[in-house]
Structure 1
Amino acid sequence: MKLSERVRPISWLKSHAAEIVRDFEENRSPLIVTQNGEAKMVVMDIRTYEEQLETMAFLKLINMGKKEISEGKFQSVENFFTDLEKEG
């Protein structure tokens, strides 16, 4: 579903809260809420929100790893296990 199909004014949000909750049970697409014709917020179901938080955290970890690799802050797998055995 296109986001443009899920745009509602804030006045509609106020009077259709129960309907919105029911709709999220069937359709996990976010709802764009406008005020005075301007997009002001996004409403989404909790599962989608949690999934997005997890995805963002994972992407941050990937970017941190890429940065460390580009800065040469890594070691080979062989060296890692050799160091690990020395500590154990």
Structure 2
Amino acid sequence: MRYSEQVKPVSYLKANAADVLRSLAEGGAPLVITQNGEARAVLQDVASYQATQEALALLKLLALGTRDVDAGRVVPAREAIARLRKGGGDSTA
């Protein structure tokens, strides 16, 4: 996909809103909207936006886990599993 083909001025969006939304709903690529020749917004369908947000949330969780590892806030897997089996999921113990 070439983003250069997906760049449209805001006037195009105004004149073709229904067609743009239909294209996006059918799995079309995100559309970069320009104003006065500068990129101002990216328009994408709701499903793609939700998938992006979910992926970002997972990446944040991975980053937090990496920070915990770097800070030494870890326990061996066997110990963690044993705690969970005992019902002692509290990390302050």
What's the TM-score, normalizing by structure 1?
Answer: 0.91
Structure 1 regions of 5+ residues with no counterpart?
Answer: none
What aligned pairs does 1:38-49 form with structure 2 within 5 A after superposition? 38-49=38-49
Which residue number corresponds to residue 34 of structure 1?
A: 34
Change (3 A) 1:57 1:87: closer
Q: Which amino acid counterpart does residue 74 of structure 1 have in structure 2?
A: V
More helix by share: 1
Query: Contact (CA 8 Å) 1:28, 1:48: kept in 2 or not?
Result: no
Is 1:63 matched up with 2:66? no
Instruction: Give distance in 2, aligned partners of 1:24 and 1:73.
Output: 44
Q: CA RMSD in A?
A: 1.7
Partner of 2:69: helix, strand, or coil? helix
Read off the aligned partner of 1:5 and give its amino acid letter: E
Instruction: Give the paired residue count.
Output: 88
Alignment of 1:6-21 (within 5 A): 6-21=6-21
TM-score under structure 2 length normalisation: 0.86
- Alpha-carbon contact 1:32-1:42 (below 8 Å) kept: yes
| Sequence identity percentage | 36
Flag structure 2 segments of 5+ consecutive residues without an equivalent.
none
Structure 1 range deviating more: 53-62 or 26-35: 26-35
Matched-pair contact (CA < 8 Å) for 2:6–2:32: yes
